[in-house]
C-alpha cells in the first residue's frame, strides 16, 4: 500500500479528492519502471507536477530531467531542438548541436502539449520509443539514447488520431500508462484548501496578513467553475492579496470584482454527456448504463438498416452504413475511456493491456449484424417458394469484396474506396473470408 501523504508534502500537492489521490498513486506505482506515461487533463491542473513525481521517485532521479512545451517550439526547429543537428544541415546551423534526447540520456524528458507535435517529429519520436534511436538533422548516423518519456496533453488525442493530426501507433505507445489529472471543478472539496495555501504563501512573499473569505464569499468561490483550474485560482488569490491593501477580509462583493463574469468553459477533454454542471459526478455504474444505452441505440439503427436491405436496397450501401455505425460505436467508447483512466479494464478499451478489446468488439458487431440478417431473412422467406439465389449477406459481402479487388487489381486502398469502407475493415474482411490465400 502506497502512502501518498509524504508525496503530497514533498511536491507541494494540496487536496484530498479521490480522483487526485488515485492519480498520485498511479504515478508512484509506475515511477519505478521505464514505461511511457501519458498524463491527460485540462490546462492549469498541474500535469508537470506529476512528471516530476515520476522522475524523482524513479532510479533516474540523479540524472537529467528536461521539461519541453511542444506547442511553444516552431515547427521548423522542433526536430533540431529535440534531436540536434549537424553543422551546415540548414541555414544558420553554424555548428553541431546536441538535442534534448542526447542531453537527457539516462534521465527523463517531459513532453508537454504532445498533441501540438508535427507529424514528422512524431515519427522520429516513435523510433526513439521503439528502438532507443534517433538521427540528428542533417546526419545519416543513428545514435542511441536511454530516455524515459512522459507526455502530457490537454486535448483529446483520440479525436486528433481520427482527424489525422496524431499518429495512432504513437498514441498507443505513449499511452502505456494513462494518468488523468482532474480539473478543479471536480475537486470542490480542495478549492478552499488551495485558497488558504496560496493566501499564506503570498502573505509571506508580500509581508502582509493573509486574506480571509467570509461565508458568503466561500460559497461563491466553491460554486465557481474555474476554467483555468489551479493556475487561475492562484492568480486570483495573488491579485486580491496585492490589490486589496490593508483589507484582509474578503466578502462576496469584493470577490465578485475579481471573478470573470463570462468565464469560458474549458472542455478540451471529451465530455461524458451534454450536462456540464460543475457538480456532475459519474460513477462506474452510471458510465456503464450510458454505454449500454448508446449501444442499444446503435443496434436499433442496425436493425432498421438490415430490414431496409432486405426490402431491396444495395449491398454496397450496406457496407458503407455498417462502417458508419461501427465507427460511431468506436467514437463513443473512446470518448468514455479517454476521460476516465480510472475505469476498470472492461470499460477502458484505450488501455494498451486490453488493446484487443476494441477489435473484438468490432468483430462481434459485424458477426451480430450478419447473424441478425440471417434470422430476419429466414423469418420473412416463404417456405413454399424455392430460393432462386442466395440472400446471405455474408456471401453477398464476400462477392462484392472479390469484385472490388478484381476491378482494382488487388489494390486494397482503391477497393475499400469503391466499397465505401475503411482499409481497416477491408483487411479484416479479407482475413475473415480467407481471401488473402
Alpha helices in 244-283 (DSSP H): 252-258
- Residue 62 or 338, more confident: 62
pLDDT category of residue 42 using cuts at 50, 70 and 90: very high
Alpha carbon 231 to chain centroid, angstroms: 22
Taking all residues of the chain, what is their mean pLDDT, rounded to a whole number?
79
Output the pLDDT for position 293: 60
Q: Are 239 and 276 in contact (CB under 8 A)?
A: no
For 120, other C-beta atoms within 10 Å of its C-beta total: 11
* High-pLDDT (> 70) share of the chain, %: 70
Domain ranges of the chain: 5-182, 186-258, 284-432
Q: Select the highest-mean-pLDDT range: 185-189, 262-266, 372-376.
A: 185-189
pLDDT at 360: 53
Convert 56-100 into a string of H (helix), E (strand) and C (coil): HCCCCCCCCEEEEEHHHCCCCCHHHHHHCECCCCCCCCCCCECCH
Crossing angle between the packed helical segments 215-223 and 188-205, to the nearest 10 degrees: 120
pLDDT score recorded for residue 219: 92
Maximal CA-CA distance, the chain:
96
What topology does CATH give the domain 186-258?
Answer: Helicase, Ruva Protein; domain 3 (1.10.8)
pLDDT of residue 254: 92
pLDDT in tens, 115-162: 999 999 999 999 999 999 999 999 989 999 999 999 999 999 999 999
Average pLDDT estimate for 272-285: 41
Least confident of 12-21, 80-89, 143-152, 308-317: 308-317
- Residues 286-303 have pLDDT tens digits of 556 556 666 766 676 676
pLDDT (tens digit, 9 = 90+) per residue, 173-222?
Answer: 999 999 999 999 999 889 999 999 999 999 999 999 999 999 999 999 99
User: Residue 190 class from Cβ within 10 Å (0-12 exposed, 13-18 middle, 19+ buried)?
Assistant: buried
CA within 13 Å, CB half, 42: 21
Give 226-246 pLDDT, tens digit per residue. 999 999 999 999 999 999 888
More confident residue, 322 or 20: 20
Contact (CB, 8 A) for 329 and 361: yes
Q: How confident is the model at residue 91 (pLDDT cuts 50, 70, 90)?
A: confident
What confidence score (pLDDT) does residue 54 get? 96
- CATH 3.90.960.10 matches 5-182: no
pLDDT higher than threshold 50 for residue 61: yes
> Within 168-314, where are the H helices?
168-174, 188-205, 215-223, 229-243, 252-258, 284-310
Query: What pLDDT was estimated at residue 277?
Result: 38
Kindly report, residue by residue over 327-363, the tens digit of the pLDDT: 554 555 554 444 444 444 444 444 444 445 445 555 5
Residue 26's pLDDT is: 95
- Specify the pairing of strand 37-40 against strand 177-180: parallel
Amino acid at each position: 500500500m502506497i502512502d501518498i501523504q509524504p508525496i503530497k508534502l514533498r511536491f507541494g500537492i494540496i487536496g484530498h479528492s479521490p480522483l487526485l489521490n488515485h492519480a498520485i498513486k498511479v504515478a508512484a506505482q509506475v515511477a519505478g519502471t521505464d514505461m511511457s506515461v501519458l498524463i491527460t487533463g485540462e490546462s492549469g491542473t498541474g500535469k508537470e507536477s506529476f512528471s516530476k513525481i515520476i522522475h524523482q521517485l524513479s532510479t533516474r532521479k540523479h540524472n537529467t530531467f528536461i521539461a519541453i512545451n511542444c506547442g511553444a517550439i516552431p515547427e521548423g526547429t522542433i526536430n533540431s531542438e529535440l534531436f540536434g543537428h549537424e553543422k551546415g544541415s540548414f541555414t544558420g546551423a553554424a555548428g553541431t548541436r546536441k538535442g534534448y534526447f542526447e542531453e537527457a540520456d539516462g534521465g527523463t524528458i517531459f513532453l508537454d502539449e504532445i498533441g501540438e507535435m508535427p507529424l514528422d517529429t512524431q515519427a522520429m519520436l516513435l523510433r526513439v520509443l521503439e528502438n532507443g534511436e534517433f538521427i540528428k538533422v542533417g546526419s545519416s548516423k543513428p545514435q542511441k539514447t536511454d530516455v524515459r518519456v512522459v507526455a502530457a496533453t490537454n486535448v483529446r488525442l483520440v479525436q486528433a488520431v481520427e482527424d489525422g493530426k496524431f499518429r495512432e501507433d504513437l498514441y498507443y505507445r505513449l499511452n502505456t500508462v494513462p494518468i488523468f489529472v482532474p480539473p478543479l471543478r471536480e475537486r470542490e472539496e480542495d478549492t478552499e484548501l488551495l485558497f488558504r495555501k496560496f493566501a499564506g504563501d503570498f502573505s509571506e512573499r508580500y509581508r502582509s496578513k493573509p486574506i480571509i473569505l467570509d461565508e458568503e464569499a466561500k460559497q461563491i468561490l466553491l460554486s465557481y467553475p474555474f476554467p483555468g483550474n489551479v493556475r487561475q485560482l492562484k492568480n486570483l488569490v495573488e491579485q486580491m492579496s496585492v490589490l486589496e491593501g490593508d483589507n484582509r477580509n474578503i466578502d462576496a462583493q469584493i470577490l465578485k470584482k475579481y471573478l470573470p463574469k463570462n468565464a469560458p468553459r474549458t472542455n478540451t477533454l471529451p465530455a461524458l454527456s451534454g450536462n456540464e454542471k460543475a457538480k456532475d459526478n459519474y460513477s462506474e455504474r452510471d458510465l456503464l448504463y450510458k454505454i449500454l444505452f448508446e449501444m442499444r441505440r446503435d443496434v436499433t439503427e442496425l436493425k432498421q438498416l438490415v430490414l431496409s436491405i432486405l426490402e431491396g436496397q444495395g449491398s454496397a450501401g450496406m457496407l458503407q452504413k455498417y462502417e458508419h455505425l461501427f465507427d460511431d460505436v468506436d467514437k463513443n467508447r473512446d470518448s468514455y475511456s479517454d476521460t476516465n483512466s480510472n475505469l476498470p479494464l472492461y470499460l477502458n478499451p484505450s488501455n494498451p493491456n486490453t488493446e484487443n478489446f476494441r477489435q473484438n468488439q468490432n468483430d462481434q458487431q459485424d458477426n451480430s449484424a450478419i447473424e441478425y440478417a440471417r434470422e430476419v431473412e429466414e423469418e420473412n422467406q416463404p417456405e413454399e417458394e424455392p430460393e432462386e439465389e442466395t440472400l446471405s449477406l455474408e456471401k453477398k459481402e464476400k462477392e462484392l469484396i472479390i469484385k472490388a479487388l478484381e476491378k482494382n487489381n488487388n489494390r486494397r486502398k482503391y477497393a475499400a474506396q469503391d466499397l465505401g469502407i475503411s482499409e481497416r475493415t477491408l483487411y479484416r474482411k479479407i482475413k475473415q473470408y480467407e481471401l488473402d490465400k
